[in-house]
Structure 1
Amino acid sequence: MPDSHLNPDAVLAQLAFMLPPERIAQLGAEPRDSSRLMVVGNEIAHLTFRDLPSLLRPGDLLVFNESRVIPARVMARKPVQNGFGGGQVEVMLLREEYGTDLGAHLWSAYLKPAKRAGPELLLGPPDAPHRAEIVGQLDDGARLLRFEYDIKPHLDTIGRLPLPPYIDAGDNDERWRERYQTVYACEPGSVAAPTAGLHFTPELLAELEAMGVQRTAITLHVGAGTFRPISGSVADHVMHAERYSISAATAEAINTARAEGRRIVAVGTTTVRALESAVDRAGQVQAGEGDTQIFITPGTPVRVPDLLITNLHLPGSTLLLLVAAFAGVDRIQAAYAAALEGDYRFYSLGDAMILERGEL
């Protein structure tokens, strides 16, 4: 039965697997490009990431996600009024919100504890706190915080990096601020790294450029929803909105490469989601920015990339469905079986795959 007729719930069941906890990578490979790389097409091959140049051709166009992870986890406190207050509240900033009637400098955030927080929070040092007013609540329990000014420039001082829940971060925040970023990250806004890009080094990028591989970039700010597994039916799963932008130069580079028959190589599922959110019915990628809640499942054609570089994903996740839609369910099932048998490391800091697109 072709993939276009597969039920996504049946696909998730087919791709289910048990992952021993010790296979979840707690540290990234050093150097970054020494991680393993599985090549997944009609056959499977096992390389290291620094072998990537042997798989690419002059004229191929790599598309990166240049979003940078912000120190979005901040400790706040409630103001003291009439002898009450002063308790601590953990704030996990999710994303900056636009297009509401609640004013500027608005962020959605998870608060812990949430029930007794508000209506105002003080973030940062006691002598010069940053004030946030709680002005609303979203369906998923997140609160809307309105700051007096742009809070992003202050997060490096008052915040900590929000690592995935399956990584034992310890207290070494300074180390993670470098290691949990791609070497080309430059657009602050994500609360999780676009992890496929973590394998690239400046030296590898220079080697690819020297051999004639071209490069361009989009921005998609990764939200906390990337960690949320599917519970219940796939049809009932609601994707979190994520902000993306594609410049006119990037859209032109991609459309020109496709017209000339050169391959588009997406670095990461976030790049795929941005490109597939921006492609029109004629197959042209359109420049612009906005929110996307695109949910790519088997039966959804992935039209822009020819190759996808990605990490190994969580069972029962939206990302596993995306790679199955891209490469084909049977290929992904075989690849994950090989990864489990071959001691590949999983998730954000683990090893990588390069997938050939299946038939549309």
Structure 2
Amino acid sequence: MLNRSKPITASLFLSLLPLFAFPVFAQDIQWASDITLRPQSPVAGERATFQVTVRAGREAATGFAVVGGIDGKQLFKKELGELRADRSRNMRFSWRATAGSHKVYFRIVTTTHSRAAVPPELSREFTVQGGSAGAAGVQATAPARSRVVQHDTRSVRKPELRTRPVQATTAISPQTLSSASFQQPTCEGAPLPDIEALYGSGIQGGAVLNSSGGITVTLPFSVPVIVVNRGQCDTGIFSVKAEMRVQAQGVDKVVQLGSKSIHSLPPCRSKGCGEAKESVRFDFTPQYNHALYSFTIEADATHSIDEFNEDNNEIEPELRIDEY
């Protein structure tokens, strides 16, 4: 009897062991803000920006994305990457405003098979005032029916370069690009890289109006992008991702333009930062006349690089084609 009781005792001990083990904190991610809208009262045709803030719990959060949409249609998605424990991150999403009453929503979703709990959906109702007929955006227009629709770089609104320093007055300015006595404050005891995305020489390409009323591309279209490391150490490998939103008569869709891998960028140490920047291009084919093509191009879209400033990684150039 005594011999038989030994495995029973051992089995009981093993079954109770998890109750006395050290606690393991599951991934925890929460909203850290409500939805903010800028401008607060948008006008039809102008670009509105939504922002939400997410925060990780006592463990780093990985395998999450923020998705959102307007009036029940999903328009936005951004990978969260890795978010360190007890850290927060601002997620911004742009939208070309259309007149009327709308409802925007955002959700946190898992991108893996993780069963981590996610917070409830955020939503907000807002109204967009009607704008003038010419407020819909930039134009690249040909005056005659069969002439080439040539893009004029002056007609594309160059996006604001969001390079304002974060709690730093010594950060290099986009106009200077000089590393003379350039020092950024350290973060968590270590110098960090700082990836910035810049608009290149302008969207290039050309097309003609065809017999069916659409357009035929005669010169390949592409969006040039420059990425620069303004930080104090190498970036490591990261990627630049691009997507295109097409808005035309009866058409509103998002097209993924792929991603470009950047091996690594050293910190800027010379005037012009030639050694710390790299140029990439994203090709696209416009298919619709009387259409607005809006691009969202983001460096380190997966947030795999811990940066000094993450607010300057994205640009949003536009192209309008109107052939009468």
TM-score (norm 2): 0.24
Q: Which has the higher contact order (CA 8 A, sep 6+)?
A: 1
From the two aligned structures, give the one with the greater helix fraction. Answer: 1
* Larger Rg over CA atoms: 2
From the two aligned structures, give the one with the greater strand fraction. Answer: 2
